[in-house]
Amino acid sequence: MFEKLPSGYRLTDAGEEVLEFAEQMAASSNQLQTRVFGRDQGVRGRLRLTMAPTVASHLLMPDFVAFAGLYPDVEMEILSSYEPVNLTNREADVAIRVVVDRNTLPQNLHGLKGPEISSGVYMSRKLLASWRADADVPIRWIVKNRYGDLDKFHQSNIPASEIPFRTTDAAAQIVAVQQGLGMTSLPCFVGDTDPLLTRVPGSGLERHGTLWLLTHGETRKTKRVRLFTEFLSRRLSAYAPLLAGLVPNN
């Protein structure tokens, strides 16, 4: 099955053949489980949802509470991650994703298109007051990536420092701007609902993406999945002005 080499192990020709059959068996098993799951019409059992952490904590948690109140026998499991989850292999039942390009959506999934999401530039109210007292002081950019060009962020009337603060974690990014470390780009549903933050004067809005509810073809037939997607689709429609940045927290 394996050949031992100085650098490690590699599959032999026989191992490659076995691996091919094993992958076929795994795919068939996943397909069988999905079809059986799709016939489940009870409003009971596990419901696994995957989404970005900010979407879970800053937007949809009240709706999860409301759904749990309506259907107390549904065991909800939230997978908060920016990493893609394979719905075909039933790693999750419903994916709530921010999609920039519709052409990137997997063809084997069923999608319900939600509202458009905009992002804006935010800083703490205290930092804005300090800057107005001394408008010559440049403000740091808080960037949620390790690398990247800051040019696209220099779009406000406030002078930006060339020395950024970088983080790969959205929670740290939000706390940093709340604490007055600088200004940053956030989805409007995060920045406009935070009483500590305000939009940076002179900055505009940018398209952040579109929110989609994604399910697998067989999984979506399950009653609890269908009830949840219908419930959440209605809630998302009500959030459309907030997601588009039309209700700033002035």
Is 56 in the same domain as 99?
A: yes
Is 161 in the same domain as 192?
A: yes
Structural domain including 42 reads: 29-116+208-241
pLDDT of residue 107: 77
CATH number at 43 reads 3.40.190.10
Is 79 in the same domain as 132?
A: no
pLDDT of residue 82: 84
Is 45 in the same domain as 78?
A: yes
Is 201 in the same domain as 212?
A: no
Q: Is residue 147 part of a domain?
A: yes
User: Is 243:211 a contact under the CB 8 Å cutoff?
Assistant: yes
Q: Is residue 16 part of a domain?
A: no
Q: How many CB atoms lie within 10 A of CB 149?
A: 7
Which residue in 232, 237, 218 sits closest to 49, CA to CA? Answer: 232
Query: What is the tally of structural domains in the chain?
Result: 2
**pLDDT (tens digit per residue) in 106-117:** 777 888 899 999
Is 49 in the same domain as 67?
A: yes
User: Is 225:47 a contact under the CB 8 Å cutoff?
Assistant: yes
Is 181 in the same domain as 216?
A: no
pLDDT of residue 36: 46
pLDDT of residue 22: 62
Q: Is residue 14 part of a domain?
A: no
pLDDT of residue 152: 55
The rounded average pLDDT for each run of 10 residues, N- to C-terminus, in the chain (250 residues) is 70 69 58 48 82 94 96 94 80 90 80 92 95 90 72 69 88 96 94 95 89 84 90 95 86
